[in-house]
Copies of this chain bind each other. A is one copy, B any other.
Amino acid sequence: ALIAILAGDGIGPEVTAEARRVLEALDLGLTFEEAKVGGAAYEVAGHPLPPETLAVAERADALLFGAVGDPRFDGLERAHRPEQAILGLRKAFGLFANLRPARLFEGLEDASSLRPDIARRIDMVIVRELTGDVYFGAKGRGTTEAGLREGHDLMRYDEEEVARIARVGFETAMRRRRRLLSVDKANVLETSQLWRDVVIEVAKEYPDVALDHMYVDNCAMQLVRDPGQFDVILTGNLFGDILSDQASMCAGSIGMLPSAALGATGKGLYEPIHGSAPDIAGQDKANPCAAILSAAMMLRHSLGQAEAADRIDAAVAGAIRDGARTGDLGGSLSTRAMADAILDRL
């Protein structure tokens, strides 16, 4: 299989290099092709997601993404800013399902700002819709009748968009504790009311899964109060953006958490949830675990290699359990040394 390596900006290149090293060590006959994305692409090609990169992504079976974001380009108008690369890739390949596991690794109980007894129980997956909602609805700037400037973005979903992500939610729940929590704001939003109606309809296809609903504001509270209560959370693009970041932080080390963006075909995009961290870029300090665990998700979801994925997961958990720590975890291992600790356990 062909893997596109879209390393991006900041620490992206460092951590994806280690993820690639781990994949190579497993000898799965993968081939790799690198392409620029984000600020790194804007710099050479004048666009954060240039056609050359799209072409590489097009022919690849899966995309291993690093991180995008570079303060040098913060002043650009939105269409040219590094983050547009990730929105563009999601849309170009119909990657509508974002899987974001959040769990606390044994040994990292003290990394969370939550009390250890509360943090220890965190083990959830957020299933976030990724190509609809207010992110991709009609948007623009205008002038009101009174001559005032205004800005608008249409929040919307149709029943097919909701049903297909709901199925991903129910399937995920089937592989776990058979409980699905759908999060919306149905007391205020019509979009949410449609969302809720359709999720309830799809639930009939999954009689073994217990479905519940929660308002997004309450969910943000409960994620602080007792995150251990959650197993699989299903939600829309905007609420998922907020809640999944919150949940990751509850689990303590955002340097540990991977994510997947999946579509209707097997192709997926895999990326650490952390950003480009320009402050430590190029210093061999970044934690490569999230990128390495993203590679494991890729093996599992795009390449049918669940066993190899399990081996990587176990090696990361083992290295952490045995005390391997980069700076973000309170240790002093370099990016490369941390990856070595994982490779040793493969």
Contacts and interface: CB of A to CB of B under 8 A. Distances in A.
Interface stretch (A135-143, A260-268, A291-299): A135-143
Given A152-B154, A153-B189, A156-B151, A141 B194 contact: yes
A311 interface: no
A187 B188 CA distance: 24
A118 interface: yes
Contact of A195 (B134, B151, B156, B193): B151
A190 B185 CA distance: 21
23 contacts: A81-B187, A113-B115, A113-B118, A114-B115, A114-B224, A134-B189, A141-B194, A149-B158, A149-B197, A150-B156, A150-B157, A150-B194, A151-B156, A151-B192, A152-B155, A152-B190, A153-B154, A154-B154, A155-B155, A221-B248, A224-B246, A224-B250, A246-B246
A132 to B, nearest CB: 10
Given A224-B224, A243-B220, A151 B191 contact: yes
A284 interface: no
Interface in A191-242: 191-195, 197-198, 216-218, 220-226, 238-239, 241-242
Interface string A156-185: 111110000000000000000000000001
A222 B154 CA distance: 28
Given A152-B190, A153-B156, A242-B242, 13 more contacts: A78-B193, A113-B224, A149-B158, A150-B156, A150-B159, A151-B190, A151-B195, A154-B154, A154-B155, A185-B241, A216-B241, A216-B242, A217-B242
Nearest to A251: B224
A156 B138 CA distance: 12
Contacts of A87: 188
A283 interface: no
Interface residues of A, number: 62
Contacts of A189: 134, 139, 151, 153
Interface of A: 78, 81, 83, 87, 113-115, 118, 134-135, 137, 139-141, 144, 148-160, 185-195, 197-198, 216-218, 220-226, 238-239, 241-243, 245-246, 248-250, 254
B193 A220 contact: no
A246 B81 CA distance: 30
A135 B190 CA distance: 10
A166 B155 CA distance: 24
A120 to B, nearest CB: 12
A150 B157 CA distance: 6
A217 B241 contact: yes
A70 to B, nearest CB: 13
Contacts of A151: 156-157, 189-195
